[in-house]
Structure 1
């Protein structure tokens, strides 16, 4: 079931339950002083190239990456013509950003490009930019009488700055 989770909140919950079980499995069956010869294999989401490691940490990071990817899909599928849909999109994008940041801060030695620090940082920035854009769109939904032009400009500027930062970071890493 964790190989093909549904693309909704239930699928994310399933992945997170599996992630939590991995914590106990790691403590019980994977002592740090010896290798059991069990390999975990995942396919890079960008290249499709398989990566294989014997550490449970790789499995945990990969499961969390999939949860983050599902959060992004949930955010993108929300109805952005309503305040409720925009709120749900912001929540999903922020959860995705938090998931990718957690992976970046807690898992090192990534064998695949999608789990690398540069890619994770880019995904965090992209999800934060998406959330800011949704906040701006929500403000634009309000009637012109009740919204403040200053707040609209601030949110638009924040969204633009996030996109510029993301783009400049991506270009500078690509040219290296």
Structure 2
């Protein structure tokens, strides 16, 4: 977690670091699946979509160092939408007739030497949602809370972070925790704690605006 080094009178708040991942090629396995199960022509028709997915994944892998927080947020949201489309069309698992050459690997955000590797798109979705919550928390930390408007913006960002963690907890966390290769940061218990932390920080921002 990150916290500001400011010495002003406002209370210190926390932001979450993003999870890290390894490089992954989604383009070739998905294209091969289309060719085998449909046709080369169908694969050609979907070429632009596959290239877009490839670029989104590559951009996510880079981390947020070179992006503005808002650009990083938009990237993660777009990639999550793309993953939802992939999930509905491409079965990814160890089954012989599925896309079985894709393994998603993500490192724990807090214990960075620990990692999970699964042939399970829900792990990928969980990591993206976690990072979306993390980016919102970093945005909340970036505002000048010595001013009324800064406190208002920070509150909105912390609420958005809480929303991302809550959605992860309610919709994806259990599905991403199958098998033995898991990390605690995307568990129901951990993301529930992060949701409550972000809501508490949002409430503190509101409290600071009370004369």
Would you call these one fold, judging by a TM-score over 0.5? yes
* Counterpart in the other structure of 1:118: 189
Q: Is 1:102 the counterpart of 2:167 in the alignment? A: yes
- Aligned position for 2:104: 40
Residue 66 (structure 1) aligned with residue 131 (structure 2): yes
CA-CA distance at 1:121 after TM superposition:
1.1
Please report how far the alpha carbon of residue 36 of structure 1 lies from its aligned counterpart in structure 2 after TM superposition.
2.3
Unaligned runs of 5+ in 1: 141-176
Conserved 8 A contact 1:64-1:99: yes
Aligned counterparts of 1:82 and 1:11: Cα–Cα separation in 2: 25
| Partner residue in 2 for 1:134 | 205
Q: Equivalent residue for 1:19? A: 80
Larger RCO, structure (CA 8 Å, separation 6 or more): 2
SS at match of 2:110: coil
Name the stretch that deviates more: 24-33 or 67-76: 24-33
C-alpha root-mean-square deviation of aligned residues, in Å? 1.6
Q: Give the SS at the match of 1:51.
A: strand
CA contact (8 A) 1:7 1:70 kept: no
- 1:7/1:74 contact within 8 Å kept: no
Which structure has more helix as a fraction of its residues? 1
Q: For 2:71 and 2:209, locate their aligned partners in 1 and report how far apart those are by CA, in whole Å.
A: 26
Note the C-alpha offset of 1:42: 0.4
Pick aligned residue for 2:148 from 53, 58, 83: 83
SS of 1:71's partner is helix
TM-score using structure 1 length: 0.75
Within 5 Å, which residues of 2 pair with 1:154-165?
none
Task: Tell me how many residue pairs correspond in the alignment.
Answer: 140
Gap runs ≥5 in structure 2: 1-58
Mapping of residues 140-155 of structure 1, within 5 Å: 140=211
1:141-173 deviations in Å (ceiling 9; x for gaps): xxxxxxxxxxxxxxxxxxxxxxxxxxxxxxxxx
Compute the displacement of 1:32 (Å).
7.7
